[in-house]
Structure 1
């Protein structure tokens, strides 16, 4: 739901009634994960998606019904449905979807409106909703902020709100969305309630070092993947807004010096495109000792061998060097800047999602893996170009 914050916040401001269908749980192969949402307003306008098309029509009707009767409903869709091709997931998975009306009379409207507004402003936001439990609690919502303050409630035992807020805050810290099992009195044991905790945090950072022509294409790819993209280069003649109009930030500074003073986290992606030892070595020495998600460096295999030797000379260990993806990118046979940017973006996604990078045709590997943020990984051994 929070992925639709901009649109839904506008609907709420306009006073529209709408219903939101949110993916609560997934098993097997399914196109979208928990938190994916489809919303329908009272005029029939629909936005978002819960399945990539498999069950959209049936979910649309559920939203219309929720608007008509004002009741939340939990519905399961799967390949085992008798009418699988009409309303089931023909890919073989099963998804549970919660449909919640957000109308003038709905108890959760004020909380969801506040959550959508906060997420639209880019503020870290977590929303816990009851997705399984007593009918009177279904769809009840609790907004939780990073400082622990909260708004709304789940309508049960007072300890339930406190425990739910603590769980939601922990998930917010990690930028995770998922379910939590609690008892009706708020203790952390299964059998009472299931909460869906959705979080919205600022986009992950991508920092591109080296204001070269390949960087411009990588900036576009990074923005397409949802990153906040920064270009950094020590040469002011190259690091200009005219050359990188789509970058969020352009920094003129020595790369290693900027990296030491800027903010990074476990989702940050660092792409080193300078392939110049005077920039690369101090930068990579710093980067490979930071808890970031991805560190990759461009260059030929000969450049990589020389870089590896130099990094060992300045004290990096085998374990630290194993984090370096060099030459950066998957082997797509890339030649142009755009193709190379695609190969780098593909490796970033594979590292994050645990993909192999091999063709799905004949591979036998799962298409839809469990979504999880991955920090460091094995060294990438293939070239981008």
Structure 2
């Protein structure tokens, strides 16, 4: 729902009720993952998408039905062999969709979640998508230290909040099944409730070191992928906002000093990616010494094969272990034959996506394995190079 939160806040602020359909489960190959949403307001205006077009019409009608009745609804959509034009996913997957009405001011949990989203605060939205009638559709907003809304059952609420905070801490979205007394249980058990937890965290960071033309292209590609992008270099004549208009911030500082300050301030996390484009050892080595000892999602460094070997030698000399050195992606990027800054940026962000999602970096036409992977950013499993 994060991608449509801005419009939902506008409707909410104007006092317009709406119904929101959310993908709460996916099986097989599906266009969008859990948390994808489509919303329809009382005037019939729609925003968002849950399937890239396959079942949007049917979900739109389901939203209108929920707006009319006020009762939550669930529906599974899948591929139809009988009629290729029937409502279904032509990709062959299955998606489970939960739809609920959101009247202005009627849900403390939803109201708080939208407010937190508006100001960019990390929050988990917890909704009961299956369970007793009095619990179905109940919503609680959870932050690291507060919660808003209620499930009316103290043991169940306590357990749901514990699970939600653990998922928020790692940025995960998914289902939690609990018995009505709060104990974890399997799906389908009687006297149980299924909760869908959507974790919203600020955009992951991309820090690009080196104020060169390649950095500008990488910054543009990073913003396209949804990263919060910083460009940092010690040379003020090159490190200007005019040269890097796509970056969220442009910082003049020695790279290793800036990284140390950001780490000390707690502004780095396991989703952060670093692109070291300086290929100058007086910048690279002190920077990589700290970066490779920090739990980050990706650390890549630009340079020739010769530069790479010399860099490894220096890193070993200053005491980095082989385990730490093996975290370095160098030379940076996938082998696309890239030459221009734009092509090089695509090669770099392609490697970042592969690390984030667990991709094998092979053409899809060269294998018959899954198209989508489920390795979260920061996963220790790395794709083959």
Q: TM-score normalised to the size of structure 2?
A: 0.94
Q: Within the alignment, does 1:295 sit opposite 2:299 as a pair?
A: yes
CA distance change for structure 1 residues 91 and 354 in 2, over 3 Å: closer, same or farther? same
Cα offset, 1:270, TM superposition? 0.5
Cα offset, 1:193, TM superposition? 1.0
Cα offset, 1:12, TM superposition? 0.4
- Tell me, in whole angstroms, the C-alpha distance in 2 between the residues paired with 1:332 and 1:196: 40
User: After the TM superposition, which residues 118-197 of structure 1 pair with which residues of structure 2 at under 5 Å, given as runs?
Assistant: 118-147=116-145, 149-155=146-152, 157-190=153-186, 191=189, 192-197=192-197
How many residues in Structure 1 have an aligned counterpart in Structure 2? 377
Cα offset, 1:364, TM superposition? 1.4
Q: Is the 8 A contact 1:267 1:375 kept in 2?
A: no
Cα offset, 1:154, TM superposition? 2.2
Cα offset, 1:120, TM superposition? 1.8
Cα offset, 1:372, TM superposition? 2.2
Q: Is the 8 A contact 2:178 2:184 kept in 1?
A: yes
Partner of 1:230: 230
User: After the TM superposition, which residues 17-32 of structure 1 pair with which residues of structure 2 at under 5 Å, given as runs?
Assistant: 17-32=17-32
Q: Is the 8 A contact 1:291 1:375 kept in 2?
A: no
Cα offset, 1:219, TM superposition? 0.7
Cα offset, 1:82, TM superposition? 5.3
User: After the TM superposition, which residues 238-317 of structure 1 pair with which residues of structure 2 at under 5 Å, given as runs?
Assistant: 238-262=238-262, 263-317=267-321
Instruction: Name structure 2 gaps, 5 residues minimum.
Output: none
Q: Is the 8 A contact 2:358 2:381 kept in 1?
A: no
Deviations 1:59-103 (A, max 9, x none): 111001111111100101112575564211121111110001112
- Tell me, in whole angstroms, the C-alpha distance in 1 between the residues paired with 2:50 and 2:382: 33
Q: Within the alignment, does 1:113 sit opposite 2:111 as a pair?
A: yes
- Tell me, in whole angstroms, the C-alpha distance in 1 between the residues paired with 2:147 and 2:383: 42
Cα offset, 1:49, TM superposition? 0.9
User: After the TM superposition, which residues 334-353 of structure 1 pair with which residues of structure 2 at under 5 Å, given as runs?
Assistant: 334-353=338-357
- Tell me, in whole angstroms, the C-alpha distance in 2 between the residues paired with 1:287 and 1:362: 35
Partner of 1:89: 89
Indicate the SS of the match to 1:137: coil
Partner of 1:328: 332
Q: TM-score normalised to the size of structure 1?
A: 0.94
Partner of 2:208: 208
Q: Is the 8 A contact 1:219 1:246 kept in 2?
A: yes
CA distance change for structure 1 residues 201 and 287 in 2, over 3 Å: closer, same or farther? same
Indicate the SS of the match to 1:292: coil
CA distance change for structure 1 residues 61 and 4 in 2, over 3 Å: closer, same or farther? same
Instruction: Name structure 1 gaps, 5 residues minimum.
Output: none
Partner of 1:34: 34
CA distance change for structure 1 residues 371 and 325 in 2, over 3 Å: closer, same or farther? closer
Q: Is the 8 A contact 1:241 1:250 kept in 2?
A: yes
Q: Is the 8 A contact 1:277 1:307 kept in 2?
A: yes
Indicate the SS of the match to 2:367: coil
Cα offset, 1:132, TM superposition? 1.4
